[in-house]
Every structure is written in C-alpha cells, then in structure tokens.
Amino acid sequence: MSSSVALRHTRHLSTAAGAAAASSTSTTTISISKAKSKLKAEHDPDKALEIYSSVSDRYISTLSSRYAQEYTVKRLAKSHRFSDIESFLESHKNSSQITQEPYLSSIIRSYGVAGMFDHALNIYHEMDDLGTPRSAISFNVLLSACVHSKQCPPAV
C-alpha cells in the first residue's frame, strides 16, 4: 500500500471514529466539517441557518467556521434574503473576536460573496471604531469582496 493510500485510509478511519463519537454524544452536536458538508447540500436557507447555529458557538477558530458562514450566506443570497444576510453578519459584531482582523475579514468576505459590496466597504471603514487593526490582509479581503460581488470597475 502506497503512503498516500495509507494516509487517506487513516484519515477516513479517524474521521469516521470522530463522527461516531460525536453522534453518540448528542444528535444536535455536529462537527464543523459535517456542518460544511450539510451546508453544501442544503438549499433551504432556514435550514442552513439552523445548521450554522448548531456549530457557530463551539468553534473559535475563524478559519474553521469561515466556510460554514460563507455557505450560509450563499444560501440566503440565492433566496434574495439580503436583510437576513445583514442581520446574520451584523450579529457577528457582538463577538469578543471582533477585534481580531481575521474574524472581521471573514465578515467582509461574506458580504462580498452575497454581492453586498457596499456593506463590506462599510465594515472595512468601521474597523478603527471596532478596535480591529488594518493591514494588507483586510485590504486584500476587501478587494476579494469587490471581485466576488462583481462591482469592481473594469481594468483599464
């Protein structure tokens, strides 16, 4: 067995064991990777919000929850529920992590994914008021939000 096949097999076993342990402790508690899989397949925005809320409080890593947040925003955007997107993302400002640039950057990026660049720009301008430092990271995320929202001016 090659090393890559052995590694895949080991990952599969560890993931399966972790999922079995998680499902045996509680039926409503799921891992972030399971939530992302469910969010990819779920097209009902209300159910997407339920899935996200079942994992959002337990994961403090911005990166681990960023994708789940984006999938949720995508589902809401497809249903043209932009006021729900605004409420959903603005509620993240109440978190103690708001002073961390990666956390706030995920909110900016999510607004871009939803096509709401004006909101992304407003969040970027609020960074000083929220006590969040600005760097090239947040500026690049703002540019990414512009591209995702398709509101960038054409290249000259």
Give tens-digit pLDDT for 41-90.
666 767 777 766 666 655 555 666 777 778 788 888 888 989 888 988 88
Domain spans in the chain, listed from the N-terminal domain onward: 32-149
CA 132 to chain CA mean position, Å: 19
Q: Which residue has the tokens 């403090």?
A: 60
Structure tokens belonging to residue 132: 């969040």
Neighbours of 113 (CB within 10 A): 19
State how far the Cα of 38 lies from the Cα of 111, in Å rounded to an integer.
21
| pTM tops 0.95 | no
| Mean pLDDT within 141-145 | 92
pLDDT at 29: 61
